Chains A and B, each alone.
Chain A
Amino acid sequence: MIGEIPLSDVLLASGALFLVGLAGTLLRRSAISIFLSIEVMMNAANLALIGYGGALATREGQILVFFVIAIAAAEASVGLAIFVAVFRHKETIDVNKINLLKW
């Protein structure tokens, strides 16, 4: 089916999605929102991988995306556990208020 979809469309969508994720990461203050934005950036990379895999007529792209998604699941569980631990100590997950290591 990719024959009908030019790779430039896929890359444009991927780039736009990455940009949205980057904007969220840089401009938000809630740690959960930043984490969600990082997930969006990871999905943008996945989209580019699938697009290139299709354009090069190989399945390696899909395999790579499979592993990325599995690792994203592991990363999300550990990251959210860290949020729970931080929230228990500081009662907030606003990244401007978590500044113990700041000089």
Chain B
Amino acid sequence: MSRIVFDAAAVLTVLFAAVMAVHRHPVKSVLALVVSFFGLAVCYVMLSAPFIAAIQVIVYAGAILVLFLFVLMLLNVPEEARERDAHPIQRVLSGLALVIFAAALLALLNTNGPVRGPSGASAVSFDVAPLARLLFSEYLLPFEALSVLLLAALVGAYVLAQRETGEPR
């Protein structure tokens, strides 16, 4: 049962990510990505990672993509023009690279057979408390370093996006 739900959510995720990748209108492609990330959150719940699913919805779909939307509307980015490429060779080469990468990925997934974890289906339990205990004991230092990183990103974003002095408003 949970496998069916996982597969359906995974298909939805990949499908809407593909919609994002081909859509020329930037706002619509962000909205497609929101749906895709919700599907991914369902996948995480099915893999018994409810905390990560919540983070995915709150931080990714809630904060990061809203930031994208905000910037898109601030800049008023136009729809990507359907013009002829100045360098069609780049497009051909990237298509080729894509095919090679897909073949390599498939070969890798096949050579290891159906990849399995250790048998016994020793699933991680569904509750969040052990995760929090791990995060605030063994991984406390990276956790605190993360807060410094976020502060640095905040200051960096402010400095980068502000107007230079003397620039007309």
30 examples of A-B residue contacts, CB within 8 angstroms: A2-B124, A5-B2, A5-B3, A5-B46, A7-B115, A11-B109, A11-B115, A12-B109, A13-B13, A20-B17, A22-B101, A27-B95, A33-B21, A36-B30, A36-B68, A39-B33, A43-B37, A57-B117, A59-B124, A62-B124, A69-B60, A70-B146, A70-B150, A74-B150, A74-B153, A76-B67, A77-B157, A78-B157, A80-B67, A84-B160
Residues in B with CB closer than 8 Å to A53 are: 49, 124
Taking a contact as CB atoms under 8 Å apart, the answer to whether A32 and B3 are in contact is no
- Chain A residues within an 8 Å CB radius of B75: 83-84, 87, 93
Give the contacts of B54-106 with A (CB-CB under 8 A). 55-56, 59-60, 63-64, 67-68, 71-72, 74-75, 77, 80, 85-87, 91, 94-95, 97-98, 101-102, 105-106
In the assembled complex, how far is the CB of residue B27 from the closest CB belonging to chain A, in whole angstroms? 10
Contact digits for B115-143, partner A, Cβ 8 Å, 1 yes 0 no:
11110011110100011001100010010
> How many A-B residue contacts, CB cutoff 8 Å?
233
Q: A5 to B6, Cβ gap below 8 A?
A: yes
| B residues neighboring A (CB under 8 Å) | 1-3, 6-7, 10, 13-14, 17-18, 20-21, 26, 29-30, 33, 36-37, 40, 43-44, 46-49, 51-52, 55-56, 59-60, 63-64, 67-68, 71-72, 74-75, 77, 80, 85-87, 91, 94-95, 97-98, 101-102, 105-106, 109, 114-118, 121-124, 126, 130-131, 134-135, 139, 142, 146, 149-150, 152-154, 156-158, 160-161, 163
Measured CB to CB, the nearest residue on chain B to A87 is: B75
Query: A82 to B97, alpha carbons, bound, how many Å?
Result: 28
- Residue with the greatest number of chain A CB neighbours at <10 A, chosen from B30, B87, B114, B154: B114
B29 and A33 contacting across the interface, CB-CB below 8 Å: yes
Q: Residues on A close to B: CB < 8 A? A: 1-13, 15-24, 26-30, 32-33, 35-37, 39-40, 43, 46-47, 50-59, 62-63, 65-67, 69-78, 80-85, 87-88, 93-94, 96
In the complex, what residue of chain A is closest to B14 when comparing beta carbons?
A16
Q: Which residues of A contact B130 (CB under 8 A)?
A: 59
Task: List, in ascending order, chain A residues with CB within 8 A of B102's CB.
Answer: 19
Q: Which of chain A's residues have a CB closer than 8 A to the CB of B116?
A: 6-8, 55
Nearest CB of chain B from residue A40's CB, rounded to whole Å: 5
Task: Select from chain A the residue with minimum beta-carbon distance to B33.
Answer: A36
Residues of A close to B95: CB separation below 8 A: 26-27
CB neighbours of B98 from chain A (8 A): 19, 22-23, 26
Chain B residues positioned under 8 Å from A82 (CB to CB): 160
